[in-house]
Structures are given as C-alpha cells and as structure tokens.
Amino acid sequence: MANHKSSIKRIKTSEKKRVHNRYYARSMRSAIRNFRVLTDKVEAEKNLPSLVSLIDKNAKRGIIHRKKASNLKSKLTKQIATL
C-alpha cells in the first residue's frame, strides 16, 4: 500500500478515471458492433452521424487516438457504401 498522501490520492483518482474511460470505450465499441450488423442502408445512414459523434467525443477525451477514430469512421462509411 502507498505511504504518502499524494500517492494514495493518485491511486484513487486513477482508478476513478480508469472506470470512467472504460465505460465510454465500452459503450463506443458496443455501438460500433450494433452498427456493423445493420443490413438496411437507410437505417445505417440514419445512425452514422450519432456514431461518428460518439467516436469523435472519445477521441477528444483521449480515450482513443485521433487516428484510430479516423480509421473507424472511414471503415464505417466504407461499409455503408457497400450496402
């Protein structure tokens, strides 16, 4: 266990941040998974802007890298084009 007050606080805050980041990353991955199983092009085009917004927010928060966000958005739009 940590001996200093600052290290105890750092452990607590890092655990809170870890849980918080995990929630946002997990919800984004679930949304992407649900989007990838769509077969209707109209419905997919309707859901894409909210999913792109979610990906951008996670990139802005630093949960995922900005280039990973770009790659995800590219793959999702490419998927809609193939429908």
Helices (H) and strands (E) in the chain, counts: 3, 0
- What Å distances lie between residue 11 and 15, 17, 44, 62, CA to CA? 6, 10, 42, 20
32 token code pair: 């992407």
Report which of 45, 63, 44, 43 is spatially closest to residue 54, judged by C-alpha positions.
63
Task: Give me the pLDDT at residue 3, please.
Answer: 87
Is 3 contained in some domain? no
Would you say the pTM of this structure is higher than 0.85? yes
Whether 77 contacts 38, CB under 8 Å:
no
Is 30 contained in some domain? no
Q: Is the pLDDT of residue 1 over 80?
A: no
Is 64 contained in some domain? yes
pLDDT tens sequence across 10-63 = 999 999 999 999 999 999 999 999 999 999 999 999 999 999 999 999 999 999
Work out how many domains the chain is built from and give that number: 1
Residue 73 structural domain = 40-83
Task: Give me the pLDDT at residue 2, please.
Answer: 82
